[in-house]
């Protein structure tokens, strides 16, 4: 197993589904928590996570992200998280990475969202000789349509360093329909899109899956819970899936069963570094089941987003 882990680490890889906040080092997260109460809350969340069902674990993860968001208060901390994330990916032999993040402002708007994006892009450029990195801007499911539109404008402004628009956040909030005008606009602007889909085992989630598939994003994230018809549709329409095995296993279901069908594009991704979990070789690299060679797979992925 150690040999396999080492082999997987040494393989040159691309990473297309990595949330910046989710990639924070545990030690950095702990340092940024300013109060004992926050430290104790994080301990409690780690403990509660072990006993929850899928819905509870999802809520737990997003409470942890909210805790992190509340304790990151300036651009230097964002630069640090970006720098450490890139250094970790370089150590794992990632050649190309797309980080995704929801832009935010600081100091009640005195430091605007554009400064947040620029801080990340500037940090990425410092590492350009070691890793090729690009940014995806995320719309959070709990945001307003106006806020989502602001994110779209930022994505357009910072192209080609920003390569796409994502919808993510707590899947208990079903809000794709609300954001559809924003994503339609992104499509008109030829901005690639990636949507988190099928993250919860409930009827509402399956209904939202149909709406998302009707939109036909450039890529889909997770797709853990779906109907057979939805699965066939993704295969037929050749929508690439970003699969994050460890993350998915921790929330109860693994989607790789879809790969038994021919011609399904599957991108095995990280999602986030999971605290207290050993590196899992299955997290890294990319894979497709119909035996195309690596160069072809790589260029098909690059065609999706990376065009400059």
Measuring CA to CA, which residue among 9, 12, 15, 17 is closest to residue 196? 17
- Chain residues in the site for Zn ion (CB under 5 A): 271
What residue number has its CB nearest to Zn ion?
A: 271
Nearer to Zn ion, 92 or 271 (CB): 271
Q: At closest approach, how far in Å is the CB of 112 from Zn ion?
A: 25
Nearer to Zn ion, 140 or 271 (CB): 271
Nearer to Zn ion, 16 or 119 (CB): 16
- Out of 150, 199, 208, 231, the active site residue is 199
Q: At closest approach, how far in Å is the CB of 129 from Zn ion?
A: 28
Nearer to Zn ion, 78 or 243 (CB): 243
Q: At closest approach, how far in Å is the CB of 142 from Zn ion?
A: 15
- 48 is annotated as an active-site residue: no
Q: At closest approach, how far in Å is the CB of 29 from Zn ion?
A: 17
Nearer to Zn ion, 69 or 236 (CB): 69
Q: At closest approach, how far in Å is the CB of 139 from Zn ion?
A: 13
SS (H, E, C) the chain: CHHHHHHHHHCCEEEEEEECHHHCCHHHHHHHCCCHHHHHHHHHHHHHHHHCCHHHHHHHHHHHHHHHHHHCCCHHHHHHHHHHHHHHHHHCCEEEEEEEECCCCEHHHCECHHHHHHHHHHHHHHCCCCCEEEEEEEEECCCCHHHHHHHHHHHHHCCCCEEEEEEECCCCCCCHHHHHHHHHHHHHCCCCEEEEECCCCCHHHHHHHHHHHHHCCCEEEECCCCCHHHHHHHHHHCCCEEECHHHHHHCCCCHHHHHHCCCCEEEECCECCCCCCCCCHHHCCCEECCCCCHHHHHHHHHHHHCCC
Residues with active-site annotation: 199
């Amino acid at each position: 197993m150690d040999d396999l882990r080492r082999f997987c680490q040494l393989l040159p890889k691309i990473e297309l589904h990595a949330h910046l906040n989710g990639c924070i080092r545990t030690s950095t997260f702990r340092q940024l928590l300013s109060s004992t109460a926050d430290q104790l809350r994080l301990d409690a969340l780690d403990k509660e996570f072990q006993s929850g069902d899928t819905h509870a674990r999802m809520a737990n993860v997003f409470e942890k992200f909210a805790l992190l968001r509340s304790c990151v208060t300036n651009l230097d901390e964002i630069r640090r998280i970006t720098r450490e994330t890139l250094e970790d990916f370089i150590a794992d032999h990632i050649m190309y990475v797309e980080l995704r993040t929801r832009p935010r402002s600081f100091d009640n708007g005195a430091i605007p969202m554009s400064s947040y994006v620029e801080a990340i892009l500037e940090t990425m450029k410092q590492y350009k000789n070691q890793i090729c990195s690009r940014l995806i801007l995320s719309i959070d499911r709990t945001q307003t349509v106006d806020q989502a539109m602001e994110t779209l404008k930022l994505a357009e402004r910072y192209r080609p360093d920003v390569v796409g628009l994502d919808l993510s956040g707590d899947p208990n909030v079903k809000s794709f329909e609300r954001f559809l005008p924003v994503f339609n606009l992104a499509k008109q602007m030829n901005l690639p899109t990636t949507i988190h889909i099928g993250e919860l085992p409930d009827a509402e989630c399956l209904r939202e899956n149909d709406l998302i598939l009707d939109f036909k994003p450039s890529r889909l994230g997770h797709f853990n819970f779906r109907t057979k018809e939805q699965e066939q549709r993704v295969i037929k329409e050749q929508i690439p899936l970003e699969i994050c095995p460890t993350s998915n296993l921790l929330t109860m279901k693994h989607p790789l069963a879809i790969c038994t069908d021919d011609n399904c594009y599957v991108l095995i991704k990280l999602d986030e570094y999971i605290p207290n979990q050993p590196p899992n070789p299955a997290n890294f690299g990319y894979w497709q089941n119909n035996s195309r060679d690596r160069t072809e797979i790589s260029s098909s992925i690059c065609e999706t987003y990376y065009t400059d």
